[in-house]
Amino acid sequence: MIDHTLAGGDSLVLMPTGGGKSLCYQIPSMLRDGVGIVVSPLIALMRDQVTALQQNGVRAAYINSSLESHEVGEIFRQVRMGELDLLYVAPERLLMDHFLELLSTLEIALFAVDEAHCVSQWGHDFRPHYLGLSILSQRFPNIPRIALTATADEPTRNEILERLNLKSANMFVAGFDRPNIRYHVLPKDSPKQQLLKFINSEHEGESGIVYCLSRRRVEETADWLVEKGWNALPYHAGMDKGTRQEHQDRFLREEGVVIVATIAFGMGIDKPDVRFVAHLDLPKNLESYYQETGRAGRDGLPSNAFLTFGMDDIAMLNSFIDKSSAEERVKQVERRKLAAIISFCEIASCRRQALMHYFGDQHPEPTCGNCDNCLSKVETWDGLETAQKALSCVYRTGQRFGVIYIIDVLLGVVNERIINFGHKNLSTFGIGKEHSRGVWRSVFRQLTGAGYLEVDYEGHGGLRLTERSRDVLRGEVEIAFRKDAKQISVFGSKAKNKIKSRTTSRKRKSQAVSGSNNPLWDALRSMRLELANKQGIPAYMIFSDKTMDSLVDLKPRNLDDLGDVYGIGANKQKKYGKAILKVLAGK
């Protein structure tokens, strides 16, 4: 991807959170003549990214509304003098006429549009100002442009390419797997108690994010966690700006803080040591879920994604869609996306496979070994014959109808549409009366989530068969459907023991290097915090937990040895090397 940009080509880059997207524009910006212009949606995001770059010795700056006019002037002086490799700006700033005029006087290495899903109305975080970025192709036709995101299904990708005039761009997809994240999904049964049990057993004293649908639930959950001994802070759009900023800064700078938030919190959170992300309510789609859970474990160390869901969530999200002022075609897409995440919750097979399949990716193994379904046997029923009936009905009705219509045919419902289309005479008419409408909905959600059916997003949202459908229709695979969520309250005792034993062994392995059981690790953490406080930056920007693990493991004895340590480049070796060696020597 970097080679393609260095040669002057345009790109759409899809990489998982923490997978190296930033390198795709940072390195070319440093190697090409001129300055790389990075479009970033949030002030806090660009501030943190620039600070982290400066810690690594990269010449970077940002321009946003937090700066005084003389500060902006100084940054432009640096750009004109060739003293900067990267300049971060918000889309609103970039689109100002005078700013575009200023850019036209500069030598520009590239344009990078970060969080590019914001340009798509199908994306989970649409930002209207992103639509104006198509002007870059008109004003700067010979400058390479890169659109980057961690989350985009096929309709969103197509929208990004169209909206940004990147139709001739190369697409680079690095895969969507985050193997260090373990996925847990539970039907709601006192969700706050379920959360507390989970974090007490797996994440004592660690940082995490808890998402809730409503502001009231955010406040209630944060207060309740404080009562239970956790350092928890609320965050939502209804709070005053100063308090929100204070809570976000504390989360970034302090250790062991849990932020309880609505979706107003999260984009651009680069904190690498978030050990868990919990959803106490169902997210509205898999894009949101993937993006939000991707904020855990950016350092590659073991982390957890925990989700509780219930029928009330589904009803509330459906109500949000129904009451929306969006066009009906947009509502239809939102309903299909909601159905996909419900399918993800109900599926009895590997959750990682289902998640990756949704984004057009495949997991190489039949099980991932790191989700609740792979770690514990779920309660299921033999569904091959039922699956064959479902797929046959989709096929015989022409692969162009939605799930409600297909279920009507299976249940033998006589209505005007079925009569008009002549489907009352099909062999599949009425062959599914042994199941209720609710069971059939679950069946279709699970078949879609497992990749045996897909939704025609380009047409009218009808279901259609996939290549995998053939094996089911021929009876060459086993199909097991998860029982209705209402029948499953929690994991069985054997499953709980199995997960606990694996987690415990994982913790022991980690604590052999890091954590409170290792005085050297604690001493390095204290030094890291002291250095960070002196500079007024988050501790992880000095170096990450993964770097400290490497320091404890390798125990370098001199500055040259520090070059073998993960996360310590030449600049940090020069700035912090002596302090690190002093701690390692026990002085």
CATH of the domain at 400: 1.10.10.10
Residue 586 CB burial class (10 angstroms; 0-12, 13-18, ≥19) = exposed
In a domain, 218, yes or no: yes
Domain count, the chain: 4
Lowest mean pLDDT among 68-72, 96-100, 404-408, 497-501: 497-501
Q: What is the CA angle 262-267-269, rounded to 5?
A: 105
- Whether 499 is covered by a domain: the verdict is no
DSSP string covering 67-128: S-HHHHHHHHHHHHTT--SEEEE-HHHHTSHHHHHHHHTS-EEEEEESSGGGG-TTSSS--G
Give the whole-angstrom CA distance, residue 495 versus residue 509: 21
- Mapped to the 3 state alphabet, what secondary structure does 91-107 carry? HHHHCCHHHHHHHHCCC
Domain assignment of residue 508, yes or no = no
Contact 280, 210 (CB under 8 A): yes
Q: Rounded to an integer, what distance in angstroms lies between the CA atom of residue 25 and that of residue 21?
A: 8
Indicate whether 187 and 294 sit together in one domain.
Answer: yes
Average pLDDT of the chain? 87
Kindly indicate the confidence band of residue 485, based on its pLDDT and cuts at 50, 70 and 90.
very low
What is the residue range of 356's domain? 181-375
Query: Which of the listed residues 119, 142, 173 is the one where a domain comes to its end?
Result: 173
pLDDT of the residue at 486:
43
Q: ∠ CA 319-324-325 to the nearest 5 degrees?
A: 160
CATH code, domain with 558: 1.10.150.80
Q: How confident is the model at residue 217 (pLDDT cuts 50, 70, 90)?
A: very high
User: pLDDT tens digits, residue range 132-191?
Assistant: 999 999 999 999 999 999 878 788 888 899 999 998 999 998 888 899 999 999 888 889
Whether residue 510 is contained in a domain is answered as: no
Same domain, 544 and 431: no
Checking DSSP bridges between strand 35-39 and strand 453-455, what pairing results, if any?
unpaired
By three-state DSSP, how is residue 187 classified?
Answer: strand
- What CA–CA distances, in Å, run from 351 to 21, 342, 542? 24, 12, 35
Tell me the C-alpha distance between 123 and 115, whole Å: 10
Same domain, 10 and 48: yes
pLDDT at position 459, please?
A: 66
The DSSP H or E segment spanning 62 is strand 60-63
Q: Report pLDDT digits (tens) over 286-322.
A: 988 998 998 999 888 999 999 998 877 887 887 888 8
Domain shared by 188 and 169, yes or no: no
- Separation of alpha carbons 168 and 176, rounded Å: 23
Nearest-angstrom CA–CA distance, 443 and 437: 10
Q: What are the structure tokens assigned to 285, written together?
A: 């789609």
Measured between alpha carbons, how far is 114 from 71 in angstroms, rounded to an integer? 24
Model pLDDT for residues 25-83, shown as the tens digit of each residue: 999 999 999 999 999 887 777 888 898 899 989 999 999 888 888 998 999 899 999 99
